[in-house]
Structure formats: structure tokens, C-alpha cells
Copies of this chain bind each other. A is one copy, B any other.
Amino acid sequence: MTLRVWKFGGSSLATPDHIAAVSERIKDRRKHGDDIVVVASAMGTTTDHLAALADSVNPTAPARELDMVLSTGEMVAAPLLAMALHRIDVGAVAFTGAQAGITTTASHQVARITDVRPTRIQQELADGNVVVVAGFQGATETAEITTLGRGGSDTTAVALGVALHASEVEIFTDVDGVYSADPRVVSSASTIDEITYEEMLEFATVGARVMHARAVEIGDQYQIPIRVRSSFSDTPGTLICGNRTMETNQKVRGIAHNTDVAKVTVLGVPDRPGVAAAVFGPLGKHQINVDIIVQNVSHDGATDLSFTVKESDLGKAQAVLEEAARTVGARGVDTNRKVASVSVIGSGIQGTPGVFARIFETLASNNVNIEMISTSEIHVTCIVGEGQAIGAVRALHDAFELDRV
């Protein structure tokens, strides 16, 4: 018997009618004799509403209490789906994250799964029931309620897939799969049939928020196949797995872009050891992630240090950096919100002749000015002016013939 873990996002469970449609889909699959564990996200925009409510009570609320509030969205959606299954005569039981045996660290808001003890799930499956688990949440060893960060239901699904030895984890969402570029920007963008974990991670971290990055990491670590597909159609979607089985000469998989980017430059930084640590240490301490870092050539013992942060983190970053700049004796801090990142993604592109050249020729012939560059085995990311990002994505999608995927 095949065990499937299915995860449904908030848009797939937004109303009682949506929930009924999902329950019918589950019933259909049950006819094939498969065991099914479903991970439910909160209905529609529930989590946003809960976060706004908490913010209105206390904008600097303790993370522990915030987790209690935020976790309730899934604690409503999961039993509702179980009820909908009962209504169409499918035996079903709902579990909170804690009841499902999902144990986490005590890092509220960003807890990590340390263990999954799926005893109760396995019992219910053995009794012939569908099990519906509240996503996005777990509990510490001392029964504190934790959440896994936004999008954490994907991580719940993949972790359960691993613990239950599922044959595949399916992430049902409101898009048809992973696209070769944002279809709102590139009308000829197509869904990708297969993609590696590493490639998917790039898409997840560089703006195409189809899946929670940590879910992909766990999938990679345990080599469990993950399929991203639409709740609203039967198309097969995108399979995320270890090795692409398709042709290997197509190195570039897609173009991702992200406008939630700001560029920061610390001006006139003394060029001596320990300065970078003095700048980036405090950012890390305030949970501000730095992405691309560029250090200019030193002049007269001082240099400019540029890097990108999330635009939404900029306010927090600025205060931290002005303090750090004073500490190291830098001249000041300059910021630019009007930038975006454009990434070309594909396994092994760094080792493929001609890819780099084509990227830069394409951008140049479209008059796109590159402010910063970062490359890895799997991506080339360029920071460009915000107004040029969409043109750059379209030109690159065209240059790499991605509509023919």
C-alpha cells in the first residue's frame, strides 16, 4: 500500500466550499487504496489576520505567546477538513502538531523540527482513517507550542513524509508548479517538469515563493521526492528530486526575481582584519540575513562594503549598521531601496561555457546596468535597478529559450 503525504495551502482551504472540494479529492484517491496523511495550512489569510490582531495588542509581543496565537489557524483548518471527510463518509482524524508527534526546538517563531514520533498517526492509518495534521506547528519537549516560520506547513509535510516513509510528498497550491519565470511577468513562462532540490532551493530563496526553503532542504537531506502541483487541476506539476531524468544539456532551468531587496553600502570602512565581523556580527544577532556582499578595492586604507538585505529588514538594519559604522570608524551608511535581484538558475551553470557570457550580453543589449553579482554552482544573481528587473527577466527568459522547456 502506498502512503502519500499531501499538503494543502491556505488558498486551497480558503472557504467551506474549498474544504469540501479538497475532501472530494482525498476521497477519490482513497479509492485507489492509498493511505493518506494530509497537512493543512490555515484557511486563506487567517494567519495574517491573527498576526495583525497580535500586533494591535502588542507590536513587540513575546514570541512564545505569538506562537500560541498564530498556531490556531491550522488548529481550525485541520479538524474542519476532517469534518468535511466525515460528511462524505471518509473516516478521518485531525491532530495538532503536538498530537502528531512533531517535536521542535524552543526557538519560537522559527522553531526547527528535532524529531517526529508518528505513533498516533500510524495507529489511525492502521485503523483505516485519513489523518489530517495541523501544519506550521509543533511542540517542545515541555509542551510549549511553537511555529516553524511562514510557509512552515511545507516543512511539516516533508518531515512527516520522511518519518512515515512516504513514497512522495505532494504540495498542493494555487499555481500549476514551479515556473521558468513568474508568469505574471513572462507570459510564455512554462512549468518545469523536474527540478533538483538545489535548483528548487534557489527558486525558494530568490523570490519565487512556491515552497518553504527548509522543506526543500529536508527533502534533499532524506532524498524524498516532492511534487508541487495545483489544487484546482489534475496537471502533474513539478517533481523536485535528486537527479533530473530528463535531458541534461538544458542547464538553465528558470529565471527568478525578487523586489524585496535593498542595497546597503558602508562607506569608508578601514581596511583591516575584523571589520567585516564588526559589521555583520550585529546584523546576525538581530536576525537580519545578508545576501550578496561586495567589497570594493581599497583606496588609501579604506574601502566601501556593499551588501543586500531584505527591503523589509532595512529599517531594523539601518539602526544596527549606524552603530556598527561608528564602532569601526567608517564614514557612514548609504542605502538604496530601488533595487531588485534577477537570478538565472540551473545546476552546473557555473561549469557550462557560454552561460555567463549570454547573461551579460543579454543584459547589456537591453541596457540593464548590473550593480552587484553573485554566482554559485547553481545560480547567477544580478542586482539591478528595480525598474529594470522585469525587462531583464523577460530578456533572459527569451535568451535561454525557456518557453520551449
Chain A positions near chain B (C-beta within 8 angstroms): 16, 19-20, 50, 53-54, 56-58, 60-62, 64-66, 68-69, 71-72, 75-76, 78-80, 82-84, 86-87, 93-94, 96, 98-99, 143-145
Answer whether A83 and B54 are a contact pair too, CB < 8 Å, given A75-B68, A75-B75.
yes
Dominant SS among interface residues on chain A: helix
In the complex, chain B residues whose CB is within 8 Å of the CB of A57: 16, 19-20, 80, 83-84, 87
Partner of A65, one of B50, B65, B83: B83
Answer whether A58 and B72 are a contact pair too, CB < 8 Å, given A16-B53, A53-B16, A65-B94.
no
Copies of the protein in its oligomer = 2
Q: How far is the CB of A342 from chain B (nearest CB, A)?
A: 40
In the complex, chain B residues whose CB is within 8 Å of the CB of A62: 82-83, 86
Partner of A69, one of B54, B69, B71, B79: B79
Inter-subunit contact B143/A99 (CB<8 Å): yes
Contacts A65-B86, A99-B144 known; 10 new A-B pairs at CB < 8 A: A16-B56, A16-B57, A19-B57, A53-B80, A54-B83, A61-B86, A65-B79, A65-B82, A68-B75, A68-B76
Answer whether A83 and B96 are a contact pair too, CB < 8 Å, given A72-B75, A75-B75, A76-B72.
no
- Listed A/B pairs (12) with beta-carbon separation below 8 Å: A57-B80, A58-B84, A62-B83, A64-B93, A65-B79, A65-B80, A65-B94, A68-B94, A69-B76, A69-B79, A71-B75, A98-B143
Inter-subunit contact A96/B53 (CB<8 Å): no
In the complex, chain B residues whose CB is within 8 Å of the CB of A75: 68-69, 71-72, 75
In the complex, chain B residues whose CB is within 8 Å of the CB of A65: 79-80, 82-83, 86, 93-94
Q: How far is the CB of A112 from chain B (nearest CB, A)?
A: 21
State in angstroms the CA–CA spacing of A98 and B139 once bound together: 13
State in angstroms the CA–CA spacing of A93 and B64 once bound together: 9
State in angstroms the CA–CA spacing of A75 and B68 once bound together: 7
State in angstroms the CA–CA spacing of A24 and B79 once bound together: 36
